[in-house]
Amino acid sequence: MTSRSNSFSNFSESSYDFDDKEQSTVPTSDRDEPLNPGHRNNSFNGLLGFTFGSKKMRKKKPFCQEKAIVGLALFVIAFVGMNWWMLSRIQNSGRASQVELRFLEDNSSTLSIREELLRLGLGKGRKPQKTIYARLLAKAAHSLAEGQKKSEPKDLWAEPYFVASSWKPCAEQRQWLPSEGKNGYIIVTANGGINQHRVAVCNIVAIARLLDATLVLPRFLYSSVWKDVSQFGDIYQEEHFIDYLKPDIRVVRELPQELQSLDLEAIGSLVTDADVVKEAKPGFYKKHILPILHKNRVVHFLGFGNRLASDPLPPQVQM
């Protein structure tokens, strides 16, 4: 009996130890919380949801990549198309700058508008280009066509206000006689660009008036910087230049025959920019240039860049 009771007690103790081990392996949260029959079902459903969501993400990723590629391709096509359109507009505007002007012998200018319209595609059977140059050119052609049919109104340049018509312009009130140009001839060969040429022409007219000399039509030096081969007659109307200056100075086209064969440098009639100070005053020309005119009857200014001061000058010279 004693052995049976001992074995039974040992068995009960071992079973008790086994129960304690099982309880120790259960997590604390499971031991503390009461057992829920749906707990395992929720865990299983969550696992299925995660698996199904990951499959959706895998399907959505290639679709987003395709959309990005299509969008990038459309952007590149739009960018290339915009560049092509802008380049074509620039080329069309470059053609617009080539307007041909021709000066006739009677000092009247004509514009080859008909040829320009055909060249730009504005002729018959073609759709006009929607550019500013094309519209202005079409308006100019229309105005010229109307002007050829209609004569210029007689009162076009008349003063519309009666009170103002009685006023006399100050520029027409000349209180001096024209220069006879009896002291000799002045030649000028101006250098520089078109603006330097203009200043040189204005200054030489003032000096011719100041020294009572005859002016020969100006000439222009070729500049390797500007590379412009234009001469005075290519820019200015020579006849108008001569007639307009008649009340002030005498202007001729060329030297007399007896003076054309002279070596101006040898006789001391060649005056360069090194001989004349910049912005020289009128007294300098009366003191140094007028004696050369009296002696040789001709002076040649070579270069002549900014060689006359604007002040002090007599009023008849400034006008």
Sign of torsion over alpha carbons 269, 271, 275, 278: positive
Query: What is the reported pLDDT for 281?
Result: 92
Sign of torsion over alpha carbons 129, 131, 135, 136: negative
Structure tokens at 291: 């004696």
**Quick check: 301 and 184 in contact, CB under 8 A?**
no
174 pLDDT exceeds 50? Answer: yes
Percentage of the chain exceeding pLDDT 90: 35
27 pLDDT exceeds 50? Answer: no
Domain boundaries, the chain: 46-97, 101-149, 178-318
Q: State pLDDT tens for residues 147-170.
A: 776 777 777 777 788 888 778 766
Query: What is the reported pLDDT for 122?
Result: 53
**Interval 284-312 mean pLDDT:** 92
Query: What is the reported pLDDT for 187?
Result: 97
**Interval 253-272 mean pLDDT:** 95
| 3-state SS assignment for residue 317 | helix
**Quick check: 145 and 139 in contact, CB under 8 A?**
no
Query: What is the reported pLDDT for 144?
Result: 76
189 pLDDT exceeds 60? Answer: yes
Query: What is the reported pLDDT for 66?
Result: 81
Query: What is the reported pLDDT for 57?
Result: 56
Alpha helices by DSSP H, the chain:
2-25, 28-32, 39-96, 113-119, 132-149, 162-165, 194-210, 232-235, 238-244, 257-260, 264-267, 282-284, 290-296, 315-318
Query: What is the reported pLDDT for 139?
Result: 82
Query: What is the reported pLDDT for 177?
Result: 85
**Quick check: 107 and 237 in contact, CB under 8 A?**
yes
**Interval 117-128 mean pLDDT:** 54
- The DSSP secondary structure of 10-38, one letter per residue, reads HHHHHHHHHHHHHHHHS-HHHHHSPP-TT
Average pLDDT, the chain: 75
Q: State pLDDT tens for residues 199-253.
A: 999 999 999 999 999 999 999 999 888 888 899 999 999 999 999 999 899 999 9
What gap in Å lies between CA 61 and CA 283, rounded to an integer?
Answer: 93
Residue 3's pLDDT band (cuts 50, 70, 90): very low
Q: State pLDDT tens for residues 73-108.
A: 899 999 998 888 888 877 655 554 444 444 344 444
Q: Which of 85-94, 256-265, 274-283 has the lowest mean pLDDT?
A: 85-94
Residue predicted with more confidence, 147 or 9: 147
- Residue partners of 120: CB distance under 8 A and separation at least 6: 95, 96, 129, 133, 134, 137
Q: Which among 196, 219, 298, 292 is positioned nearest to 255, based on CA atoms? A: 298
